[in-house]
Structure 1
Amino acid sequence: MFLKREMMGLARTVVRCRKIKRCPVYLIPLHFVSQIFGSYVTTLSPRSLSLEKVQQRFKATSLCEHSKKKYQEIQFYLRPEEETYARRIRRVILKANSRTVEDVIQSLQCDEMLSGFQLTSPVVDSLLQKFGDDWKSAFSLFEWASLQISYKHTTYACNKMVDLLGKMRKWERMWDLVEDMREGCSVTLDTIAKMMRRLAGGGKWKDAIVVFDELESFGFVRDTETMNILLDTLCKEKKVEVAREAFVVLKSHIHPDAYTFNIFVHGWCNARRVDEAMWTIQEMKLWRLKPSIITYSTILQAYCNQTNFQKVYELLDLMVSEGCPPNVVTYTTIMNSLAKLGNFDEALGMVDRMKSSGCKPDTLFYNSLINILGRGGQVHEASKVFEVEMEMNGIGRSVSTYNTMISIFCHDGQEQRAFTVLTDMEKASCKPDLQTYRPLLRLCLSKRELYDHIERLLNDIMDKHNLSLDLDTYTLLIHGLCRVGDTEWACLLFDDMLGREILPRYETCKLLMDEARRRNMEANVERIQTVMDQLGSVP
């Protein structure tokens, strides 16, 4: 309440929300909103925003974790019977997806095969992830699951759905869901962060501010962490000046931390206003907060993006003089930026500068160095770093290290050395991924004498390492097989792709259909045409 009382003294304005279903809501907006936008009437949830305090307080995830997690994919492990059940649900939903959400739910309710299985959280959560941006399928599943006995949505499922509905601008449905979550005491700080981000991203950044004003009704307080979420949201949606105005009001009530200023440094740099970012560092020091390596590295990245390497080197010297020496991540960033411009010699000079400073390399640094040497045509030097220097310095290889070296050898046409690295990778108990195999498959498709290796590689992928082909790998194979005239195998892979419910790209369908038609494979042409019709991209 302290902020509302203070804001009354500043703004002398009370803005009333539009009346909604059960009761009106009175909000005291931030002073800068009333100053800049006048009498702003919020367009929040079409459902009631009760001001009753939520009984349960939730432990907030740190904002640093919010920024690190972002939207990382979570791995869900299903039992065989759950896999079968999930596939059935997906088929029913996709078959009925051209209809309304209510129709899809009805189809799920009426499906006899689904009636005898106990729905579990891993099934729902994994399907929500697989549906991606297909909000209708995801929401149909979510609503149907809510009707099932002995099932309760996980926090992941609720937040995933809030995020997706907001992303697809389904505001009314999003607010209905948030209100249900509020009544069930299942709103978390991650929910708040996703709401704010999607509202701001959809041009409703004023509503994101009102969500901050309404935090108490969700069971949270306006403190440093929640202020940072608001500021971070506005800055990421290119409203850094609005964020700055909000901070001017809030800083006398909520003490900022180092992350607050890092948000602004990042926001100003994204707006290509690096001078303001540097000024932010000075303000940070006035609050007796010390700029970190993250603070300086953000500005260094901005200078790199501007290709202003004179400023980069000046800032490196400043960091050393202020007792915040560059770390291996800083040097790796600069090295990659120089290499991106083709300045390979200068990039490699950064390696010498790093070593002379006493900064120790790590695996990510070596991954970048090997990649730069390979791109610069110095394959022998890349191989030497990979085979000798890393081991000499006690730095372990990651999957990415092996993948980079394999890609370099494949690009240089050295298939034997590429396959040797793959063998070494397996001996080191470092499990290959699809990125490991793509350059090998591409090389085998380009050299007729290596054509027989393709089937062995595919067997290793699926049987030896239990990997499933993805869209990019199927596309690579089908296009490559069409180029060498093996249309029959390409069609088999196309059918396998559909069987795994992976939709091909339109260009892949068109290429394969043209090749099949040229070889009078009419049954295949008809099947491919059906898929193209479903994609809605018939020329």
Structure 2
Amino acid sequence: MTRQSKRRHGRDRSPSPLSSKKHHHQHRSHGKSPQRQIHDVGKQQRPNFISYLDSPNLPSKIKLICEIVANTPSLSVEKLLDDNSIRVSQEDVEQVLKLSYGYPASAVKFFRWAGYQLNDRHTPYAWNLVVDLLGKNSLFDAMWDAIKSMKEEGILSLATFASVFSSYVLGGRVEETFMTFEVMDQYGIPRDIVALNSLLSAICRDGKAEKADEFLRIAKDKIKPDSDSFAILLEGWENEGNVGGAKRTFGEMVVEIGWDPRNVPAYDSFLCTLIKSPSGFHEALKFLNTMKERRCSPGVKFFGFALEDCVRKSDARGAALLWEAMTVRSDFRPDTQMYNMMISLHSHLANFDIARRYLDEMVCDGVFPDSKSYNTLFQCLIKSRKLIELSSVFTEMVKNECLPTQVNCIDAVRLNLDSGDPYMAIKIWKFMIENYQSDLEETGNFLVSGLRDCNRVQEAVKYAEDMIDRKIKLGSSTLSKLKQSLVKAGKGPVYDELLRKWKLR
């Protein structure tokens, strides 16, 4: 804090959540002075904060200041900064504070030192960072001292209190979060719906939706919840998988604010929560139909989550119902990821005609297949030994620059050789040597041996020589097989030339 701010603290009578006598004994630990409390944080277990060590490309000045803050006892920070003749801007202060959460005592010393240079003109954001780093280190007395200074400077905002909400919740002090909300207006920040939603969000993010629900029931007597209030709480129930809580909140939302087509996040979270229960998918579909009757609908989040559930359970019928619900809407089109899930589902069920249809329909919806779209289908065609379809898909995906994976190529070469189609095996091999630089030896040897077994010895020699030229190791066993065939065909000199090249490799 600045010197001027420190003088004002002695006569400041603005309330904090802990100022009432009712809570004095319950929170006796807050009796320590702010400076003593800051020093004591070193004895506590610190959370994992991002530091300058996680930011390798920092400007040299910022790195130097961060090193001083991180590695210097707080009482010596100001002197060392002076000794290095460092000058700072408002932006420098912000950047250093963001990387100094793990060293609150030294960070506050740096902030105070920088205030001398800046004539106490720190930015509101820098002040908020100080409040946040103190709060995140559970230094709540010092945090409130900073807030009181900000009040006198006239720079308090809802963002400041959002930070306080978050710090108390993370510190396991939800009741103090509620008390903070109650005194906000005494600091000049209105207790309106935006503030209430900020409080609910902080509590729900920490997995305490039940507490948020309890507080909302009390607060709604004075502050009318809006769609965001219910959406935040429904997302909290979703994260905790609490179906009962979600149903209760959803029912209250419908009664209190009605059906609103714009309230997509709330519908998303509610339906996603239902799906997580054992028989939730069919219940979610029922609610989906009810929403449709009210001209409301969830968004991409729910449909994507529900499709993933269908793929996991190999539920083609459920996926078809979802797909129909999506595509009948004029304002909604499936994206590439959703198409890929349908392609994956039907490919693994060996419904290749249906999978191919989804692949072809993508362009009509203004989205385009990617490598995953093709590779999923390609892989399943290989496993099902569908040679004609495999050949068609390979040709199309290469043409569209959606490259098959090397694993799929290897499997496809083997399948085609085993099935007596060396032409397609050669085509895929040519693609491999043009696009992959390693792990080619096994497939190359398999190709040469396979061509020889198909009585295509001349081509086998050709690709054996090409392997040698490309420094792809031709195995001695492969060479021995070629020798047998060439000698038998009276082409010993061809083998001798191949052997010569092989020895020189």
2:223 maps to which of 254, 266, 275:
254
Match of 1:312 in 2: 284
Is 1:294 matched up with 2:294?
A: no
1:206 CA drift (Å): 1.9
Letter in 1 for 2:230: F
Deviations 1:425-461 (A, max 9, x none): xxxxxxxxxxxxxxxxxx9797489xxxxxxxxxxxx
Match of 1:303 in 2: 274
1:197 and 1:384 map into 2 onto residues whose CA distance is: 49
Letter in 1 for 2:115: S
Letter in 2 for 1:252: D
Match of 2:144 in 1: 175
1:106 and 1:174 map into 2 onto residues whose CA distance is: 24
Letter in 1 for 2:157: T
2:315 and 2:370 map into 1 onto residues whose CA distance is: 21
Match of 1:16 in 2: none
Deviations 1:454-475 (A, max 9, x none): xxxxxxxxxxxxxxxxxxxxxx
Deviates more, 1:126-135 or 1:220-229: 126-135
2:74 maps to which of 93, 101, 105:
101
1:96 and 1:360 map into 2 onto residues whose CA distance is: 53
1:189 CA drift (Å): 0.6
1:132 and 1:293 map into 2 onto residues whose CA distance is: 36
1:224 CA drift (Å): 2.3
1:91 and 1:448 map into 2 onto residues whose CA distance is: 49
Q: Secondary structure at the match of 1:197?
A: helix
Q: Secondary structure at the match of 1:153?
A: coil
The structure that is helix-richer by fraction is 2
Structure 1 residues 175 and 362, CA gap change in structure 2 (3 angstroms): farther
Native 8 Å contact 2:168 2:176 kept in 1: yes
Native 8 Å contact 2:12 2:148 kept in 1: no
Q: How many residues align?
A: 358
2:196 and 2:185 map into 1 onto residues whose CA distance is: 13
Is 1:366 matched up with 2:339?
A: no
Letter in 1 for 2:183: E
CA RMSD for the aligned pairs?
A: 4.8
1:349 and 1:386 map into 2 onto residues whose CA distance is: 12
Letter in 2 for 1:101: S
1:95 CA drift (Å): 5.8
What does 1:78-477 correspond to in 2, within 5 Å? Answer: 86-94=59-67, 97-112=70-85, 115=86, 119-129=88-98, 142-149=111-118, 152-290=121-259, 292-306=263-277, 308-339=280-311, 341=312, 343=314, 345=316, 349=320, 352-359=323-330, 361-362=332-333, 365-370=335-340, 373=343, 389-395=361-367, 420=401, 447=439
Native 8 Å contact 2:259 2:294 kept in 1: no
Structure 1 residues 99 and 231, CA gap change in structure 2 (3 angstroms): same
Structure 1 residues 360 and 102, CA gap change in structure 2 (3 angstroms): same
Native 8 Å contact 2:275 2:281 kept in 1: yes
Q: Secondary structure at the match of 1:285?
A: helix
1:402 and 1:154 map into 2 onto residues whose CA distance is: 46
Letter in 2 for 1:370: N
Native 8 Å contact 2:310 2:319 kept in 1: no
Point out where structure 2 has 5 or more consecutive residues left out of the alignment. 1-8, 34-49, 51-56, 381-393, 404-434, 442-505
Letter in 2 for 1:106: K
2:358 and 2:245 map into 1 onto residues whose CA distance is: 42
Match of 2:3 in 1: none
Letter in 2 for 1:272: G
1:335 CA drift (Å): 1.6
1:324 CA drift (Å): 1.3
Native 8 Å contact 1:105 1:144 kept in 2: yes
Deviations 1:190-218 (A, max 9, x none): 11111112112211222212211211232
Structure 1 residues 342 and 286, CA gap change in structure 2 (3 angstroms): closer
Structure 1 residues 388 and 152, CA gap change in structure 2 (3 angstroms): farther
1:315 CA drift (Å): 1.9
Native 8 Å contact 1:265 1:298 kept in 2: yes
Structure 1 residues 360 and 366, CA gap change in structure 2 (3 angstroms): farther
Native 8 Å contact 2:165 2:202 kept in 1: yes
Letter in 1 for 2:79: Q
Is 1:40 matched up with 2:23?
A: yes
Whose radius of gyration is greater, 1 or 2? 2
1:361 CA drift (Å): 4.8
1:418 and 1:157 map into 2 onto residues whose CA distance is: 54
2:281 and 2:305 map into 1 onto residues whose CA distance is: 12
Structure 1 residues 385 and 420, CA gap change in structure 2 (3 angstroms): farther
Give me the identity figure in percent: 21
Deviations 1:159-205 (A, max 9, x none): 33433332232334433332222221111111111111211221122
Native 8 Å contact 2:14 2:148 kept in 1: no
Letter in 2 for 1:302: T
Structure 1 residues 212 and 280, CA gap change in structure 2 (3 angstroms): same
1:110 CA drift (Å): 1.7
2:170 and 2:440 map into 1 onto residues whose CA distance is: 50
Letter in 1 for 2:314: N
Structure 1 residues 329 and 126, CA gap change in structure 2 (3 angstroms): same
1:284 CA drift (Å): 2.6
Point out where structure 1 has 5 or more consecutive residues left out of the alignment. 1-19, 49-72, 74-82, 423-442, 450-539
1:22 CA drift (Å): 3.7
